């Protein structure tokens, strides 16, 4: 077992996604899942209780968006790193996540090994942005005209 484990809270309103992420992460010897939640309010409570290094937070939940969870958590616990885990590829969501202070934006359609690498990158002080999302930031032909908000 590694000297220090990365403490993670998993937040997703879909049970199968949440449980799948927990099972995936439990296979990693240097990652410890210390809590899980299915709602925004539950996320805030679990993060406050467990004080994780990283929280994987779904962007769209019934009671509160993952973006609002990010804002509230970082206002109280700025050392917790938030990685948004989402299916939303809209630029507006991505930009709003960055503005809220998320340290990562990970698309659910990505490979599971990429998620583990994302967690390590963010834990070690880096920022992870899904390559699909960053293409729009560097391509001048893509304009920020999507004003979708969560």
What DSSP string describes 75-133?
HH-TTSEEEEEES---HHHHHHHHHHT-SEEEETTS-HHHHHHHHHHHHTT--EE-HHH
**In the predicted model, what is the mean pLDDT of the chain?**
89
Domain total of the chain:
1
Q: What percentage of the chain has pLDDT greater than the value 70?
A: 87
- What percentage of the chain exceeds 90 in pLDDT? 77
Check pLDDT > 90 for residue 30: yes
Residue 120 lies in a domain: yes
Domain encompassing residue 54 = 6-138
CATH number for the domain harbouring residue 29: 3.40.50.2300
* Residue 30 falls inside a structural domain: yes
Q: State pTM to two decimals.
A: 0.87
pLDDT of residue 133: 72
């Amino acid at each position: 077992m590694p000297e220090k484990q990365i403490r993670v809270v998993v937040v997703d309103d879909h049970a199968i996604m949440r449980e799948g992420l927990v099972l995936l992460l439990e296979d990693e010897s240097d990652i410890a899942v210390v809590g899980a939640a299915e709602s925004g309010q539950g996320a805030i409570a679990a993060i406050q209780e467990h004080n994780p290094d990283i929280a994987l937070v779904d962007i769209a939940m019934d009671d509160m968006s993952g973006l609002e969870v990010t804002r509230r958590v970082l206002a109280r616990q700025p050392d917790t790193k938030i990685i948004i885990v989402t299916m939303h590829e809209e630029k507006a969501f991505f930009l709003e996540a960055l503005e809220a202070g998320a340290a990562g934006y990970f698309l659910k359609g990505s490979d599971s090994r990429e998620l583990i690498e994302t967690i390590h990158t963010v834990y070690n002080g880096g920022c992870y942005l899904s390559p699909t999302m960053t293409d729009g930031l560097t391509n001048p032909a893509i304009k920020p005209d999507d004003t979708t908000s969560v």
